[in-house]
């Protein structure tokens, strides 16, 4: 009898393991050009449900990590062997690893209820969210709403748009807006599984809201720039990754949750949900490093800005055109500070020197905190080429001075990059903030010195402003429009009488 019970238990445990399955992560090393091209082709055509690439294949002898579903691991191994790949199994049981790493993190609805209660606590509003944890989108949204309600002098709630499943894409706008101030936008979570990025953006909000009184640097930003932070650009995808936090299929979801689309791949007609929103921007749409197959995790969607999330976001960024000085998007992982352009090697915007200078400084500053090593460069130079991303679109279309993609910890070679150790979450956010402040300081200081220059110029102009000829008052009386119609002559001869001091060359 006892034996039968044990046996039944063993079968139950075994089948429950089978259910979640032994998802494996293969580390593959393409050693020839042919193998690299084959991997790229697989990356662009593979069904995410079978083989989910954690990195795009980029160079010969560069490793590629691929998560493979339990029912396909044997077949995949045979495929690698048949084509002579060098490979190893980097993670033998991803489900088990997720339980170990994230199993006890607060991602449950009970915790949500606890935090929602706390955010609405009648004793008083608690703006401080405990960091080092992950929160549901509903907790994060309520938190943002409550900050805006309770601190209207420093933060305003903004709604960027609505997702395909009807969620509001929310963010906060910090700093008093005046038309001459420069704007910086920071976002995260365009890729659902990159939780460390969402945590980092939330950390920034927490820091600004709760640290501003002790930190003169933050106060300086609040006084001199307008800063938008949108912590989750793809909330549908994020919520999906939380549905079953130890099931790799859910937790490792990357795309949005748009309805199924189908395409014939030469063998069968495959239909899948979701679009990679960072392939859906109107920058060389679908040209490279993106896929036309809906089951691929880099599916670019039917057309540029076909998705409500990317469309709304592009409209939001466009509405800031002219004042938008920096745009930073947080991703994970690989420890990279990336700038434009991503579609081809050695292709830059005209202000590349300045872009590079600030990136180098940011990476240096970031590393000073814990010694974390970042590399900087354009995508194709340091990782891989792709098109349709938000920063390239913003750089080209909106002519933003500083447009950066940051790939957070851990480094490229880590074996479980999307599942960051819990104790690394806060350090990751802290060091990233140190890097980001380099960009914020540039924007703030440049604006301040341009204001000083402006006021110095206007003082000089007032000093120099006079009439060169004696008849100015008489001319103005007899032809009231003369200042406007003969402006350049009048700036030279009658600047004072015509009120044209601001046009004097100094
Ligand atoms: O591929 C992406 O969309 C981003 N990387 S991620 O691993 N987070 O998915 C951005 C890639 C950065 N830029 C280039 N590779 N050019
Ligand atoms: Zn990403």
Are residues 470 and 443 part of one domain? Answer: no
Determine the atom of ligand 1 nearest the C-alpha atom of 197.
8
Residue-wise burial string across 155-169, b where 16 or more C-beta atoms lie within 10 A, e elsewhere:
bbbbebbebbeebbb
Are residues 359 and 489 part of one domain? Answer: no
Q: Please state the domain count of the chain.
A: 3
Q: Which residues, other chains included, contact 102 with Cβ-Cβ below 8 Å and sequence gap of 6+?
A: 245, 246, 251, 419, 422
Three-class SS state of 457: helix
137-150 helix and 195-211 helix, angle to the nearest 10 degrees: 20
Query: In this structure, what CATH number is given to the domain that contains residue 381?
Result: 3.40.630.10
Are residues 423 and 374 part of one domain? Answer: yes
Are residues 132 and 88 part of one domain? Answer: no
Q: Are 341 and 347 in contact (CB under 8 A)?
A: yes
Q: Which residues, other chains included, contact 472 with Cβ-Cβ below 8 Å and sequence gap of 6+?
A: 493, 494, 496, 497, 498
Q: From the centroid of its chain, how far is CA 482?
A: 54
Strand order in the sheet with 375-378: 155-162, 168-174, 225-230, 182-188, 324-334, 402-411, 336-339, 375-378
Are residues 154 and 67 part of one domain? Answer: no
Cα–Cα distance measured from residue 428 to residue 422, given in angstroms and rounded to the nearest whole number: 10
Are residues 472 and 414 part of one domain? Answer: no
- What the block records as the tokens of 82 is 């048949």
Q: Which residues, other chains included, contact 213 with Cβ-Cβ below 8 Å and sequence gap of 6+?
A: 219
Tell me, yes or no, whether 138 lies in a domain: yes
Are residues 489 and 432 part of one domain? Answer: no
Query: In this structure, what CATH number is given to the domain that contains residue 56?
Result: 3.30.70.340
Residue 481's domain spans which residues? 465-503
SS (H, E, C) 441-454: HHHHHHHHHHHHHH
Tell me, yes or no, whether 200 lies in a domain: yes
Tell me, yes or no, whether 84 lies in a domain: yes
Tell me, yes or no, whether 182 lies in a domain: yes
Are residues 215 and 269 part of one domain? Answer: yes
Q: Is 81 a catalytic residue?
A: no
Are residues 309 and 173 part of one domain? Answer: yes
- Which of 413, 410, 336 shows the shortest CA–CA distance to 90? 413
Q: Which chain residues have CB less than 5 Å from ligand 2, an ion?
A: 191, 331
Are residues 126 and 73 part of one domain? Answer: no
Cα–Cα distance measured from residue 239 to residue 141, given in angstroms and rounded to the nearest whole number: 12
Tell me, yes or no, whether 304 lies in a domain: yes
Task: Out of 407, 414, 431, 442, pick the active-site residue.
Answer: 407
List, chain by chain if needed, residues with CB within 6 Å of any ligand 1 atom: 191, 194, 278, 331, 338, 342, 379, 383-384, 386, 389, 405, 407
Tell me, yes or no, whether 47 lies in a domain: yes
pLDDT in tens, the chain (506 residues): 444 443 343 333 333 444 446 999 999 999 999 999 999 999 999 888 889 999 899 999 999 999 999 999 999 999 999 999 999 999 999 999 999 888 776 555 566 777 777 777 666 777 889 899 999 999 999 999 999 999 999 999 999 999 999 999 999 999 999 999 999 999 999 999 999 999 999 999 999 999 988 999 999 999 999 999 999 999 999 999 999 988 999 999 999 999 999 999 888 899 999 999 999 999 999 999 999 999 999 999 999 999 999 999 999 999 999 999 999 999 999 999 999 999 999 999 999 999 999 999 999 999 999 999 999 999 999 999 999 999 999 999 999 999 999 999 999 988 888 999 889 999 999 999 999 999 999 999 998 888 888 888 888 988 999 999 999 999 999 999 999 999 999 999 999 999 999 888 88
Distance between Cα 289 and ligand 1 center (Å): 10
Are residues 340 and 278 part of one domain? Answer: yes
Determine the atom of ligand 1 nearest the C-alpha atom of 407.
8
Tell me, yes or no, whether 9 lies in a domain: no
């Amino acid at each position: 009898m006892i034996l039968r019970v044990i046996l039944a238990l063993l079968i139950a445990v075994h089948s429950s393991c089978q259910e979640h399955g032994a998802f494996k992560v293969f580390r593959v090393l393409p050693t020839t050009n042919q193998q690299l091209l084959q991997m790229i082709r697989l990356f662009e055509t593979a069904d995410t449900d079978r083989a989910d690439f954690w990195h795009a294949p980029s160079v010969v002898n560069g490793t590629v990590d691929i998560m493979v579903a339990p029912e396909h691991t044997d077949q995949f191994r045979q495929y690698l062997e048949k084509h002579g790949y060098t490979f190893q199994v980097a993670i033998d049981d991803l489900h088990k690893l997720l339980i170990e790493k994230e199993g006890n993190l607060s991602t449950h609805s009970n915790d949500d209820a606890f935090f929602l209660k706390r955010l609405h606590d009648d004793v008083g509003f608690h703006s401080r969210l405990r960091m080092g944890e992950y929160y549901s989108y509903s907790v994060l949204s309520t938190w943002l709403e409550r900050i805006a309600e309770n601190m209207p002098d420093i933060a305003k709630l903004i709604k960027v748009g609505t997702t395909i499943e009807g969620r509001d894409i929310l963010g906060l706008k910090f700093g008093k807006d005046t038309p001459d101030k420069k704007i910086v936008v920071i976002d995260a979570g365009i890729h659902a599984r990159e939780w460390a990025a969402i945590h980092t953006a939330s950390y920034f909000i927490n820091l600004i809201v709760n640290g501003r009184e002790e930190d003169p640097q933050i106060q300086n930003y609040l006084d001199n720039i307008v800063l938008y932070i949108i912590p989750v650009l793809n909330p549908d995808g994020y919520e999906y990754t939380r549905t079953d936090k130890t099931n790799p299929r859910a937790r490792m979801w990357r795309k949005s949750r748009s309805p199924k689309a189908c395409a014939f791949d030469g063998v069968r007609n495959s239909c899948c949900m979701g679009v990679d929103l960072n392939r859906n921007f109107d920058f060389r749409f679908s040209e490279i490093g993106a896929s036309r197959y809906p089951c691929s995790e880099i599916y670019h969607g039917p057309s540029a800005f076909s998705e409500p999330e990317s469309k709304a976001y592009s409209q939001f960024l466009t509405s800031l055109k002219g004042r938008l000085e920096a745009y930073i998007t947080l991703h994970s992982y690989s420890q990279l500070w990336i700038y434009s352009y991503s579609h081809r090697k050695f292709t830059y915007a005209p202000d590349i020197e300045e872009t590079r200078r600030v990136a180098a400084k940011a990476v240096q500053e970031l590393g000073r905190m814990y010694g974390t090593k970042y590399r900087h460069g354009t995508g194709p130079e340091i990782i891989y080429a792709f098109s349709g991303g938000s920063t390239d679109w913003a750089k080209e279309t909106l002519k933003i001075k500083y447009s950066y993609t940051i790939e957070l910890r851990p480094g490229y070679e880590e074996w479980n990059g999307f599942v960051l150790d819990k104790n690394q979450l806060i350090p990751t956010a802290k060091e990233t903030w140190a890097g980001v402040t380099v960009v914020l300081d540039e924007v703030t200081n440049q604006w301040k010195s341009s204001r000083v220059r402006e006021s110095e110029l206007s003082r000089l102009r007032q000093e120099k402003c006079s009439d060169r000829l004696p008849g100015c008052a008489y001319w103005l009386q007899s032809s009231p429009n003369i200042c406007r119609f003969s402006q350049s002559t009048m700036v030279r001869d009658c600047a004072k009488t015509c009120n044209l001091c601001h046009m004097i060359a100094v």
